[in-house]
Amino acid sequence: MKNNNISSSLISHPSSLIIVTGGAGYIGSHTLIELDKAGFDFLVLDNLSNSSQEAIKRVEKIINKKIPFVKGDIRDKELLREIFKENRIDSVIHFAGLKAVGESVQKPLVYYENNVCGTNNLLEVMKEFGVKKFVFSSSATVYGEPDKMPVTEDMQTGVGITNSYGRSKYMIEEILKDLFISDNSWKIAILRYFNPVGAHESGMMGEDPEGIPNNLMPFITQVAVGKLPKLRVFGGDYPTHDGTGVRDYIHVMDLANAHVKALEYINNNDLNEPLIVNLGTGQGYSVLDMVKAFERASGVKIPYEIVDRRPGDIAKIYANPNKAKELLGWEAKRGIDEMCESAWNWQSRNPRGYKGE
Ligand code: NAD
Ligand code: UFG
C-alpha cells in the first residue's frame, strides 16, 4: 500500500459512504454534524493544509461517533483509487480547496493546481468508479461585480473576477457543466456560498484561520480576545448606507444544513443540468453593522479605524435565496445576532482556536 495514512479500521466500511473532502476545515467540519444528524455515513479526506485534526475530534465528541479520516490529498490519484476500491462510495461533497483571496493573486499556479487540477483529478477517479453524485463549494465571487442586486443564479458569471481564487471557482463550475453535457447521468450541485460566519452552538468548533485572518468575522473576534489591537475597516466611501462594504453573512450551521438538502435533492430528483443555488440570507449588512452586532452580542467594544479600500473588493453583494427555498426547501434560519453570539462563544472559549492553551 503506497499510502499508509489510511487506518485499517477505515477499510471496507460496510455501508455506503459520502466522501467529504476538506471535512476538517471550517465549513466541512460543521457540515459533518448536519450529515450525521440526517443519518448519512461519511469518510473525511483532508490534507490538513489549512486545518487541524482536532476539529474532527471535536465533531466526534459532539456526534458521539468515530469518524473515518484519511489524511491525504485530492491530487493523489492512487490514494483516491484506494479509497474508492476499499469502500462503497455513494457521493462526494467537495470542500477541499485553498481559499485565501490575496494569496491567490501572489500564487496563481498553486491555486489553479490545487483547486482546478485537484477537482479534475477527483472527478476523473469518480468517473472511473462510476460514482456520479457531486456537491461543490462554489462562491458568490463567480458573479464578479454584479450590476443588479440581489443576485440570482441566472446572472452572468466569470466576468470581473479580480483574483485567481475566484477564477478557480468559476473554472470548476464550467468543468462541471461540461461534464454534465458529456454524460447526463451525473448529478451535480453547485452551491454558491455568500459569507459564512459563526460557529456550532456548543462553542467547541468554529473558524480557526492560520495567522492573521483575511476575513471580517474572525478578525473581529480576534480583536475582541485581544490577539489583535484593532479592526481596519477597508473603505468608508462605498455607495452603501454607511460607506462600508455590504455582504450577505450566513450562519455556518444554516450553510451546513443546505448541503444535506442539496444531497437529498440530487439523490431524489432527475436533473437536466447541474443544480446551481445561492446560499445566503438575502440580507446585506455593512462592516459597521457587523461591528455593532458583535459588540451587542459579546459586550466587548471593538476599536476600529477606517482605512483605504482593499484592492479587488466590491461595494455590495447579497443573494436572492429564493431558488434554494423553492427547490431544496431550505432557507437560513439564524440571524446576525446568532451569528455573532456563536462566533464569540467559540472564540472566547478557544482564544487560540484548535491549538489549545
Ligand atoms: P477551510 O480552509 O477551512 O477548509 C478547506 C479544507 O480543505 C481544509 O481543511 C484544507 O486542509 C483542505 N484542503 C485544501 N486543499 C486540499 C487538497 N489538495 N487535498 C485535501 N484537502 C485539502 O475553508 P472553508 O472556509 O471551510 O471552505 C470550504 C470550501 O468552501 C472551500 O472550497 C472554499 O473555497 C469554499 N468557500 C468558502 C467561503 C468562505 O468564506 N469560507 C466562501 C465561499 C466558498
Ligand atoms: N473587511 C474589513 N476589514 C477586514 C476584513 C474585511 O473591512 O479586516 C471588509 C471587506 O472589505 C468586506 C467585508 O469586510 O467589505 C467582508 O470581507 P471578507 O474578507 O470577510 O469577505 P469577502 O466578501 O471579501 O470574501 C468572501 C470570501 C471569499 C469569497 C467571497 C465571495 O472570503 O472566499 O466572499 O463574495 F470569494
Give me the pLDDT at residue 35, please: 98
Q: What is the pLDDT of residues 210-248, one digit of tens each?
A: 899 999 999 999 999 999 999 999 999 999 999 999 999
How much distance in Å is there from the Cα of 291 to the middle of ligand 2?
Answer: 14
Spatial neighbors of 37 by CB under 8 A, at least 6 apart, are 63, 260
Other beta carbons less than 10 A from residue 123's beta carbon: 23
DSSP string, 85-148: HHS-EEEEEE--S---HHHHHH-HHHHIIIIIIHHHHHHHHHHHTT--EEEEEEEGGGG-S-SS
Assess contact for 155 and 146: CB atoms under 8 A: yes
* Cα-Cα-Cα-Cα dihedral sign, residues 25, 28, 31, 33: negative
Which listed ligand is nearest to 190 at the C-alpha? 1
3-state secondary structure of 239: coil
pLDDT of 357 > 90? The answer is: no
Q: Read off the pLDDT of each residue in 73-85 and give the average, rounded to a whole number.
A: 98
Residue 13 has pLDDT above 60, yes or no: no
- Segment 51-61 mean pLDDT: 97
165 in active site = yes
User: Catalytic: which of 26, 165, 249, 354?
Assistant: 165
Ligand 1 touching residue 206 (CB < 6 A): no
For residue 150, whether the previous peptide bond is cis, meaning omega lies within 30 degrees of 0, is yes
Burial state string for 258-286 with b = 16 or more CB within 10 A and e = fewer than 16? bbbbbbebbeeeeeeebbbbbbbbbbbbb
The response to whether residue 50 sits with its C-beta less than 6 Å from ligand 1 reads yes
Query: Does the CB atom of residue 73 touch ligand 1 within 6 A?
Result: yes
Give mean pLDDT, residues 266-279. Answer: 97
Which residue among 5, 99, 219 is best mutated to probe the pocket of ligand 1, counting the most ligand atoms within 8 A of its Cβ? 99
Rounded Cα–Cα distance for residues 104 and 145 (Å): 18
CA-based angle 313:110:79, to the nearest 5? 130
DSSP secondary structure letter of residue 245? -
Mean pLDDT, the chain, whole residue set:
95
pTM above 0.85?
yes
C-alpha grid cell for residue 96?
A: 477541499
Cell reading at 273: 443540468
The grid coordinates listed for 192 are: 454558491
Q: Whose CA is nearest to atom 12 of ligand 2?
A: 245
Band of pLDDT at residue 356, cut at 50, 70 and 90: confident
pLDDT above 90 covers what percent of the chain? 94
Contact at 8 Å (CB) between 157 and 144?
A: yes
Closest ligand by atom to 50 CA:
1
What average pLDDT score do residues 96-113 get? Answer: 96
Ligand 2 site residues, Cβ closer than 6 angstroms: 99, 101, 139-141, 166, 195, 214-216, 219, 231-234, 245, 247, 287, 310, 313, 317
Residue 27 Cα: closest atom of ligand 1: 26
Among 50, 107, 169, 313, the mutation site with the greatest number of ligand 1 atoms within 8 A of its Cβ is 50
Residue 14 is predicted with a pLDDT of 53
How far apart are the CA of 17 and the centre of ligand 2, in A? 34
d(CA 180, CA 192): 18
Q: Over pLDDT 70: what percentage of the chain?
A: 96
pLDDT at 294 over 70: yes
Ligand nearest to the CA of 205: 1
